[in-house]
Amino acid sequence: MGYPPRGGGGGGAVLKVLKSSSVTANGTEQTIFDQTFTKPTNISGWINVYPLDTDDILYVREYITFGSEERVHALEEYRDAQSTSQCFFEKRIVQGRYRVTIEQPATVWRTFKYEFYEG
């Protein structure tokens, strides 16, 4: 798997990077992306889950706010070493608050790179 197109030539989609960073897990649920969109917006992204090793667990949660109530939109669980390197967030249209968290309940904390895009 490769990275989503970042714009430029070749007729691909032009994507604006909203956030590009990394986080080291600490045993708690950690927010890695949190943004409110006032109009319908196409959002996509990825997290590199390749650092996981034997007996590791990683929870990835997506939250969307409906009115004033935040709800879990999706929950993914990754266990042990991964043969593929990325967890993709497929393009979705979001209006309102959109938040993504990770949680690694373990004693050997892993560092995960991630990016989120608009477009």
Q: How far apart are CA 1 and CA 5, in angstroms?
A: 12
Q: Which domain holds residue 77?
A: 25-40+51-118
Quick check: 19 and 99 in contact, CB under 8 A? Answer: no
The answer to whether residue 114 sits within a structural domain is yes
pLDDT at 22: 97
* 5-49: pLDDT as tens digits: 444 445 566 889 999 999 999 999 999 999 999 999 999 999 999
Torsion angle, CA of 118/75/23/25, rounded to 10 degrees? 180
* 12-22: pLDDT as tens digits: 668 899 999 99
pTM for the predicted model, two decimal places? 0.84
The answer to whether residue 78 sits within a structural domain is yes
Instruction: Please count the structural domains in the chain.
Output: 1
The answer to whether residue 33 sits within a structural domain is yes
The pLDDT confidence band at residue 67, using thresholds 50, 70 and 90, is confident
* 81-111: pLDDT as tens digits: 877 777 787 888 889 999 999 999 977 899 9
Q: How far apart are CA 19 and CA 43, in angstroms?
A: 11
pLDDT at 1: 34
Question: Is 4 a residue whose pLDDT tops 60?
Answer: no
Question: Is 2 a residue whose pLDDT tops 80?
Answer: no
